[in-house]
Amino acid sequence: MVRTRDGAVVAGVVLWVPLVLGLDTAAPLLAQHLLGLATWGLLLLVLRGEDRTTRAQVAVVVVFATVVELVFAGWLGVYVYRLDNVPAFVPPGHGLVYLAALAMGRSGWAHAHRRPLVAGTLLAGGAWALWGVTVADRPDALGAFWFLCLLGFARWGRSPLLYAGAFLVVTYLELVGTSLGTWTWQERDPTGWISIGNPPSGIAGGYAWFDAAALWAAPWLVVRLDRRRQTAGRPQNQAGCVSSEVVSRLSSSAS
d(C-alpha 100, C-alpha 103), whole Å: 5
CA angle 58, 40, 78 (to 5 degrees): 70
142-147 average pLDDT score: 97
Question: Which has the higher per-residue pLDDT, 231 or 133?
Answer: 133
d(C-alpha 114, C-alpha 91), whole Å: 30
Q: Which of 63, 107, 72 is nearest to 210 (CA)?
A: 63
pLDDT at 217: 87
53-58 average pLDDT score: 94
Three-state DSSP class for residue 188:
strand
pLDDT at 219: 85
Strand partners, 80: 184
- Ordered by start, the domain boundaries in the chain are 2-235
12 within 8 A of 46, measured Cβ to Cβ: yes
Strand partners, 183: 81
155-181 average pLDDT score: 94
- Per the prediction, the chain carries an average pLDDT of 89
- Is the pLDDT at 134 greater than 90? The verdict is yes
d(C-alpha 221, C-alpha 117), whole Å: 31
Of the listed ranges 35-49, 66-80, 112-126, 148-162, the one predicted with least confidence: 148-162
251 burial (CB, 10 Å; 0-12 / 13-18 / 19+) is exposed
Of the listed ranges 58-72, 133-147, 153-167, 227-241, the one predicted with least confidence: 227-241
pTM of the predicted model, to two decimals?
Answer: 0.87
162-177 average pLDDT score: 96
With cut-offs at 50, 70 and 90, classify the pLDDT of residue 254.
Answer: very low
The pLDDT tens digits of the residues spanning 195-224 come to 999 999 999 999 999 988 888 888 888 888
Question: Which has the higher per-residue pLDDT, 51 or 237?
Answer: 51
With cut-offs at 50, 70 and 90, classify the pLDDT of residue 58.
Answer: very high
- Is the pLDDT at 250 greater than 70? The verdict is no
pLDDT at 22: 97
The pLDDT tens digits of the residues spanning 62-120 come to 999 999 999 999 999 999 999 999 999 999 999 999 999 999 999 998 999 999 999 99
20 within 8 A of 176, measured Cβ to Cβ: no
Strand partners, 79: 185
pLDDT at 220: 86
d(C-alpha 191, C-alpha 88), whole Å: 28
